Chain A
Amino acid sequence: MKSAKIAALVSLALAGIAASSSSFADTLVKVDGSSTVYPITEAVAEEFQKAKKNAIKVTVGISGTGGGFKKFCRGETDISNASRPILKKEIDDCKAAGIEYLELPVAYDALTVVINPKNDWIKALTVAELKAMWEPGAQGKVTSWKQVNAAWPDRPLKLFGPGADSGTFDYFTEAVNGKSKSSRGDFTASEDDNVLVQGVARDVGGLGFFGFAYYEENRDKLKSVPIIAAEGKPAVSPSIKTVIDGTYQPLARPIFIYVNAKSADKPEVKEFVEFYMKNAEALTKEVKYVPLPSKAYTYNVDHFNKRLKGTKFGGENKVGTTIEELMKLEAK
């Protein structure tokens, strides 16, 4: 009796598996890479599979921008999500493996510097002040707000940021400290942005940075800091508007997908990329990122169909590229 019941349950489970899986041909698009770009690609993949009635399957992984490029340059993935342009070393790896690629910017993200809502002494921060907090030389030395600016109280300065494998960390250190990955090491690092949100929300002297989407969802717990790009420039808060008009500098950054040029000839990858560009504007907004202007996506499709290979950034993590400049860049 009991065994009959178990047999029935097992067969039910197997039937469920059988019913919902169709033929498993090679109509598979493999995407991996940055966790920052993930929400956009995930949204596109979800809608794409719905539109195609699951005839084309898409997988999206999270290995970080660097980890994603490693797989991409071994030819394991069709598309790599990247929250920064491909770097020199990755370009060389891809070249050595004979992998060519198409670089398509898909959106903008505003790296947002956040503080505790009870912090009443910060109205805005200059990049120089951020540098004083984050530069490698500050390690173990700059531990109080007063040390950064004498007008601020003598409260412990607690820093929170993403881990060193993340493209976000690469970009922030490049923009603030002038060199990618160069940073003090004694801050609370986590790949999970929610940990950073919690950290700053609990500590009056806390300061952290992460993508705009996490700030948007946690506006009740955190305060964003307006950034002064250079002496004499106005303080600008991160928002969709300030990113689009190019005034939020230098922490606004383009984010990309890289398509393997060989995969681009496969009909399923081509369809996915075209679908991506057609729907990116709406879906980007939905997941709280800043979309590119419509013409940029049309331009991307054109770029893709002409198979213009290579990167426009020459292997550098270029800081402060506005949307206008991005579209004018020519592939090198």
Chain B
Amino acid sequence: MNQQELQALRTLIAAHKRKDFLFGILGIFALMIGVLTFLSLFANMAIEGLGRIDADFLTSFPSRRAANAGILSAWVGSTLVMLVTAFAAVPIGVASGIYLEEYAPKNWMTDIIEINISNLAGVPSIIYGLLALGLFVYTFGLGQSILSAGLTLALLILPVVIVATREAIRSIPQIIREGAYACGATTWQVVRDHIVPYSSAGILTGIIIGMARAIGETAPIITIGALTFIAFLPPAPFAGDPPAGMFDWLFAPFTVMPIQMFNWTSRPEAAFATNAAAAGFILVLMTLAMNGLAIWLRYRLRKNINW
């Protein structure tokens, strides 16, 4: 290779490296659009609302006086609704994902189901609210309750959970299944002993992404009739007289964080905007806490996988 060719090659490499570098910059720029938008909104809320957050704010009911108003009924409502959502969406979503990956035959039926699930993920949330209003609230007679809201949001995040479950399962190497089947395991044994444990980290991530979306949803919850002014809490879960009293909380009227914020931003007094910012800050913290929990659980679960 003569000197000239070597020079040409070096120039080519340098040009490619420059492009590589430029793409890196572009990538960081794209990332920053999202991150900085979120950070500036978050900082804005923090600056406006942080001074308002104290123990009283968390333990007070809404009030017509901005300074006395708190988010007790809202955060308790959000927490309980999320509890119902998790209890409904996780078993159904994970089971559906496992079925589609491990059991479902490859035929047109399965194809239709798959297309439907992908489409459902794109349906606007208000549609779920309308469906739930007709189905849960009126047809099933569950009323405008925590149970209806939890089930509505569960429907909303089901596609997310199913898709995440399937992706997590697909990332398990085929040889693990083949090894187990070779030893004479049934599909159920493979699922129970290998598929679910190995994919649980990924599944968990999907569940949390879904839950994080659900906690901020307002439209479907307003549609099924969450209320704006509630100055009392639902009965404590599982604390009433068993068996019937334990589930009183499911049928209680409720409000949630986004609705409380929405109400405060539409008030004439400026002081309520501060309350809304403070509530928004706490809502973001709730979401971050859920994400943190997921990361921690994922870390713990991954430690136990030895391949």
Interface residues of A (CB under 8 A from B): 2, 6, 13-14, 16-18, 20-21, 23-24, 28, 30, 32, 35, 38-39, 41-43, 45-46, 49, 54, 57-63, 71, 76, 191-194, 197, 213-214, 216-218, 286-288
CB of A23 to closest CB in B, whole Å? 8
In the complex, chain A residues whose CB is within 8 Å of the CB of B59: 16
Q: Given A13-B79, A217-B269, does the pair A59, B229 have CB atoms closer than 8 Å?
A: yes
Decide if B235 touches A24 in the complex (CB within 8 Å): yes
Which among A23, A41, A194, A213 has the highest number of chain B CB atoms within 10 Å?
A: A194
**Given known A-B contacts A21-B232, A45-B229, A60-B229, A192 and B266 have beta carbons under 8 A apart:** yes
Give the residues in chain B near A61, CB-CB below 8 Å.
225-229
**Among A14, A18, A76, A217, contact of B268 (Cβ-Cβ < 8 Å):** A217
5 tightest Cβ-Cβ pairs between the two chains A and B: A18-B236, A217-B268, A60-B229, A21-B233, A61-B227
- 4 new A-B pairs (CB below 8 Å) besides A17-B76, A46-B63? A2-B296, A21-B234, A59-B227, A61-B226
The listed residue (A2, A13, A54, A288) touching B232 by CB distance below 8 A is A54
Contact partners of A43 in chain B: CB under 8 A: 64
Chain A residues, Cβ within 8 Å of B263? 62
* B265 near A192: Cβ-Cβ < 8 Å: yes
Residues of B with C-beta under 8 A to A214: 268
Taking the complex as formed, is B253 at the interface, i.e. its CB lies under 8 A from any CB of chain A? yes
Shortest CB-to-CB span from B122 to chain A, Å, is 26
Q: Quick one: which of A43, A62, A214 has the most chain B CB within 10 A? A: A62
Q: Which residue of B lies closest to A19 (CB)?
A: B236
Query: What is the chain B residue whose CB lies nearest that of A74?
Result: B138
Q: List 17 A-B contacts (CB under 8 A).
A: A13-B79, A17-B233, A17-B234, A17-B236, A18-B236, A18-B239, A21-B234, A21-B236, A28-B253, A38-B229, A49-B232, A59-B230, A63-B225, A192-B265, A193-B266, A194-B266, A216-B268
Q: In the bound complex, what is the Cα–Cα distance between A292 and B234 (angstroms)? A: 36
Q: Which of B243-282 contact A (CB under 8 A)?
A: 248, 252-253, 263, 265-270
Partner of B235, one of A21, A45, A62, A286: A21
The residue among B62, B80, B225, B232 with the most chain A CB atoms within 10 A of its own CB is: B232
Q: What are the residues of chain B within 8 A of A59 when measuring CB–CB?
A: 227, 229-230, 253
In the complex, how many angstroms separate the beta carbon of A197 from the nearest chain B beta carbon? 8
Residue of A nearest to B72 (CB): A20
Query: In the complex, A16→B60 CA distance in Å?
Result: 12
A-side binding surface: helix, strand, loop or mixed?
Answer: helix
Kindly state the separation between the CA atoms of A213 and B64 in the bound complex, as whole angstroms. 13
From A50, which residue of chain B is reached at the shortest CB distance?
B231
**Which residues of A sit under 8 angstroms from B144, Cβ to Cβ?**
76
Which chain B positions have C-beta within 8 A of A58?
Answer: 229, 231
Residues of B near A35 (CB, < 8 A) are: 266
Report the bound CA distance from A191 to B268 in whole Å: 13
Chain A residues whose C-beta falls within 8 Å of the C-beta of B233 in the assembled complex: 17, 20-21
In the bound complex, residues from chain A placing their C-beta under 8 Å from that of B79 are 13
A156 to chain B, nearest CB (A): 27
CB <8 Å contact, B253 and A14: no
Residues from chain A with a CB closer than 8 A to the CB of B266 are: 35, 191-194
Taken residue by residue from 210 to 235, chain B's Cβ proximity to chain A (1 for < 8 Å, 0 otherwise) reads as 00000000000000011111111111
Contact (Cβ within 8 A) A194 B268? yes
Which one of B225, B232, B265 contacts A194 once the chains associate, using CB atoms below 8 Å? B265
- Does B237 touch A at the CB level, under 8 Å? yes
Contact of A60 among B76, B225, B228, B237 (CB under 8 A): B228
A191 to B226, CA, bound (A): 17
B225: chain A residues within 8 A (beta carbon): 61, 63, 71
Check A57/B64 contact, CB under 8 A, given A2-B296, A193-B266, A217-B269.
Answer: no
CB pair A45 B268 closer than 8 Å: no
Q: How far apart sit A60 and B259, CA to CA, in the bound complex (Å)? A: 13
Closest to A39 in B: B64
Give the nearest-CB partner of B236 in chain A.
A18
